[in-house]
Amino acid sequence: MIVLQDSIPSTIPGRKGAEKFFTEKEENIIRIKVVKHILIPGFIASLLLLSCNRDIMFADNRKMTANKWPLDVTPSFIVNSEDTAGLYDISFYIRTGNEYPFRNIWLFVTATSPSGRMLTDTLEYMLADIKGKRYGDGFGNIRDLSLAYRKGIFFPETGSYTFTIRHGMRTEVLPGVYDFGIIVRKTGLSKN
């Protein structure tokens, strides 16, 4: 019986022996790492998205230019609601990298109803623990974190609601902010 692996040279022809082919064991380890680190998390994320999308009424995000959030950039989201009987949860989500210099973020949120009534909130969210370990999910240095805003609310009027967000940090430009978004999820019916 001829074993082909023994007949494969261990160096690339024409080279001085510096570059070696992967052994069969190394190739198997690489395959396992690809499945473990790319395919399995991707599959799980796809399942979660498919199972959660039924209740999502609205989702949108804004990508920050050069992964920085300037003070004068105010992401705005328009949510159209024709349902005055449903209960909804509203969350923001933020994607940050290790270059984000703070453990927290302050946000100024203005919600405007179709009739022009405005509600303004000042919110603080923690993005890392006291040792600097970032909260959220992700790979490498990038983390995605959901920030609960309002739970169990209803839209009293039909029409377009506008949510405008401005960061309230004491710096003109926040480095390390990749994206900022909003998710509105239906959670049930109100008591009307």
CATH number, residue 138? 2.60.120
Model pLDDT, residue 192:
57
Phi, psi of 111 (to 5 degrees): -105, 125
**Is 41 inside a domain boundary?**
no
128-148 pLDDT, tens digit each? 999 989 999 998 899 999 999
Confidence category of residue 10, pLDDT binned at 50, 70, 90: very low
Q: What is the pTM of this model?
A: 0.71
Q: What whole-number distance in Å separates Cα of residue 160 and Cα of residue 77?
A: 10
**Is 34 inside a domain boundary?**
no
Specify the residue for token string 């019986």. Answer: 1
* Overall number of domains in the chain: 1
Whether residue 4 has pLDDT greater than 60: no
Model pLDDT, residue 3:
47
Model pLDDT, residue 27:
61
**Is 104 inside a domain boundary?**
yes
15-53 pLDDT, tens digit each? 454 445 556 666 666 555 555 555 555 555 554 454 455
**Is 125 inside a domain boundary?**
yes
Query: What single-letter amino acid sits at 116?
Result: G
**Is 144 inside a domain boundary?**
yes
**Is 167 inside a domain boundary?**
yes
Model pLDDT, residue 22:
56
**Is 88 inside a domain boundary?**
yes
Model pLDDT, residue 18:
45
69-109 pLDDT, tens digit each? 999 999 999 999 999 999 999 999 999 999 999 999 999 99
- Domain hosting 184: range is 57-189
